[in-house]
């Protein structure tokens, strides 16, 4: 069963658009086989009907294949590196230029074969038209505008030329191919809906596995994955900010757990607003948060102070006003560290800071 509320293409998340583009370009293997399959028929057609139009049609087919393959290889080398929506849309447009151009070239060539009148070549032309329409559906349908155009051209153009022939059989064939367009469009819509549904479902599962359901921040599992990747890639200038809330238990005791949940969400928003979109913010325990950010030690300390000051501000909730604090421990992440070592250093500095705050009070 497919969803009926598949979002419009412009409303899809950037990651889904990138995945759709990658799946579209998986068709490059099929294009290579198409070149091999087309060799014998094109040679035979040119040999049997050595007209200038047939020769030009064959040349157009091979040029279109070359362009389509070149675009696909370009994406394989450069396109997969970017998750930018604008970049992915451009690669889809390039895919459309190559794919639609190939459909036009094949459709024109098969139409010329139809007009040539050779029975054996006519059979090849009709089979090619159907194959060119249905074969690319798993790929081209992932961008509906491209898919509808690329899959209807191979049927519509030969059907028009069949209709020009003055015999009943050709007319029936033309009507049949035009009816096939309806089937092709339906398959395109279904393929697109299923692909988008699967990608959205996968994204939902990934979000559930990597985010904290209460605050929407990343969870401990995702934090560990990001730190491991940073250690493997030996990224420099990365800092760990361990944040432990003070007096949070009293909020649960006096105002209730519902108020405590609202306080945690408010704290998450305040932290995220301070560190910005470039930082990685996670909730790793009941009242524990971790921030990963790039920069020097002074920046990490400044942000730690700002986070502490922001959390110290009163937090209004329906049950009253919560007043809590926060202790923040900062440490630089070194390439030889382990996750446990990083967390231990940050905790030691956080507890030292908390003890200093209590002595000052």
pLDDT at 172 over 70: yes
Domain residue ranges of the chain, discontinuous segments joined by +: 9-208, 220-360
> Rounded mean pLDDT of the chain?
85
Alpha helices in 117-241 (DSSP H): 119-134, 137-140, 144-164, 168-210, 220-232
pLDDT of residue 75: 87
pLDDT of residue 215: 94
pLDDT at 15 over 90: no
**Number of C-beta neighbours around residue 20 at 10 A:** 21
**Number of C-beta neighbours around residue 336 at 10 A:** 7
pLDDT of residue 361: 41
Pairs from 73-79 (Cβ < 8 Å, separation ≥ 24): 73/28, 75/21, 75/25, 75/28, 76/25, 76/28, 79/21, 79/25
pLDDT of residue 9: 87
Residue 188 phi, psi (nearest 5) = -60, -45
Architecture of domain 220-360: 2-Layer Sandwich (3.30)
pLDDT of residue 360: 42
pLDDT at 169 over 90: no
Mean pLDDT of 277-281: 91
pLDDT of residue 285: 86
Distance CA 242, CA 345 (A): 10
pLDDT in tens, 219-249: 999 999 999 888 887 777 899 999 999 999 9
* Strand boundaries in 269-333, DSSP class E: 280-283, 288-294, 315-317, 320-322, 325-332
**Number of C-beta neighbours around residue 16 at 10 A:** 19
The answer to whether the pTM exceeds 0.75 is no
Residue 332 phi, psi (nearest 5) = -80, 145
Mean pLDDT of 198-225: 90
Mean pLDDT of 285-294: 92
pLDDT at 2 over 60: no
Distance CA 250, CA 319 (A): 13
pLDDT band for 289, please (50, 70, 90 cuts).
very high
Distance CA 141, CA 42 (A): 28
pLDDT in tens, 20-71: 998 888 876 666 666 666 666 666 656 665 667 777 777 788 788 888 888 8
pLDDT at 83 over 80: no
Pairs from 65-69 (Cβ < 8 Å, separation ≥ 24): 65/31, 65/34, 65/35, 65/38, 65/102, 65/105, 67/97, 67/98, 67/101, 67/102, 68/28, 68/31, 68/98, 68/99, 68/101, 68/102, 69/28, 69/31, 69/32, 69/35
Distance CA 126, CA 121 (A): 9
135 versus 324: the higher-pLDDT residue is 324
pLDDT at 205 over 80: yes
pLDDT at 359 over 60: no
pLDDT of residue 190: 92
State which H helix or E strand residue 352 sits in. helix 339-360
Distance CA 11, CA 29 (A): 30
pLDDT of residue 40: 61
Quick one: CA dihedral 46, 48, 54, 60, positive or negative?
negative
């Amino acid at each position: 069963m497919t969803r009926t509320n598949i979002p419009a293409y412009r409303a899809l998340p950037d990651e889904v658009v990138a995945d759709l583009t990658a799946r579209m370009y998986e068709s490059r293997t099929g294009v290579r086989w198409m070149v091999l399959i087309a060799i014998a028929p094109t040679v035979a057609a040119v040999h049997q009907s050595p007209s200038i139009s047939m020769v030009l049609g064959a040349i157009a087919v091979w040029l279109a294949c070359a362009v389509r393959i070149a675009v696909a290889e370009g994406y394989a080398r450069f396109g997969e590196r970017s998750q930018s929506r604008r970049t992915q849309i451009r690669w889809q447009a390039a895919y459309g230029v190559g794919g639609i151009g190939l459909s036009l070239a094949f459709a024109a060539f098969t139409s010329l074969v139809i007009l040539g009148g050779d029975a054996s070549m006519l059979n090849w032309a009709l089979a090619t038209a159907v194959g060119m329409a249905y074969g690319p559906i798993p790929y081209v349908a992932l961008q509906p505008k491209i898919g509808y155009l690329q899959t209807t051209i191979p049927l519509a153009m030969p059907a028009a030329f069949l209709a020009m022939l003055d015999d009943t059989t050709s007319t029936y064939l033309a009507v049949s191919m035009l009816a096939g367009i309806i089937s092709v469009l339906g398959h395109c819509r279904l393929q697109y809906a299923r692909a988008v549904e699967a990608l959205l479902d996968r994204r939902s599962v990934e979000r559930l596995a990597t985010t904290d359901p209460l605050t929407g921040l990343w969870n401990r599992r995702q934090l560990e994955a990001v730190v491991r990747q940073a250690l493997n890639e030996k990224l420099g200038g990365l800092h760990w900010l361990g944040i432990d809330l003070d007096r949070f238990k009293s909020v649960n005791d006096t105002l209730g757990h519902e108020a405590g949940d609202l306080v945690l969400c408010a704290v998450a928003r305040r932290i995220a607003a301070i560190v910005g979109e470039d930082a990685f913010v996670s909730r790793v325990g009941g009242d524990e948060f971790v921030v990963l950010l790039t920069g020097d030690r002074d920046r990490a300390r400044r942000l730690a102070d700002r986070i502490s000051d922001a959390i110290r501000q009163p937090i209004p909730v329906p049950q009253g006003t919560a007043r809590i604090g926060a202790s923040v421990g900062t440490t630089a992440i070194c390439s030889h560290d382990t996750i446990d070592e990083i967390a231990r250093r940050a905790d030691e500095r956080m507890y030292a800071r908390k003890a200093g705050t209590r002595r000052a009070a």
